[in-house]
Amino acid sequence: MKAYIRKEKWNEFKEKYSKYNFIPSVKKGYGYVKPLYNGDILICVVARTRRVTLLTGLGGESPFMEAHKDKYQDLIDDGFIEYVKGRFD
């Protein structure tokens, strides 16, 4: 499943991103990133689509974000995340 920041919570997330250990991305295309494991893995929130993705050190992207929800449980607890079924779900 794909994970997204809820549309009605997007402005609140943009104001409070630092509370959830996100930082603004210097790489064009990503709005906010949360480095994990010394920066080898990143949780990225794409500003244009509000999509939450997990990027590995090899540049791969996880298609199954519900399997990694322990990495962004704080956003789930505060009601920011919604899941949308993907092509392989």
Beta strand spans in 9-85 (E): 23-24, 32-36, 41-45, 51-55, 81-84
**How does the average pLDDT of the chain come out, rounded?**
87
Q: What percent of the chain has pLDDT over 90?
A: 48
**Of the listed ranges 17-21, 53-57, 73-77, the one predicted with least confidence:** 53-57
- 7 pLDDT above the threshold of 90: yes
Task: Supply the pLDDT for residue 68.
Answer: 85
14-23: long-range pairs with CB below 8 Å, 24+ = 17/45, 20/72, 20/74, 20/75
- Could you give all domains of the chain from N- to C-terminal order, each with its CATH number? 2-84 (3.30.310)
- Is the separation of the CB atoms in 30 and 21 below 8 Å? no
Q: Per residue in 21-57, pLDDT tens?
A: 999 988 777 899 998 887 788 899 999 999 999 888 7
- 88 token code pair: 């392989």
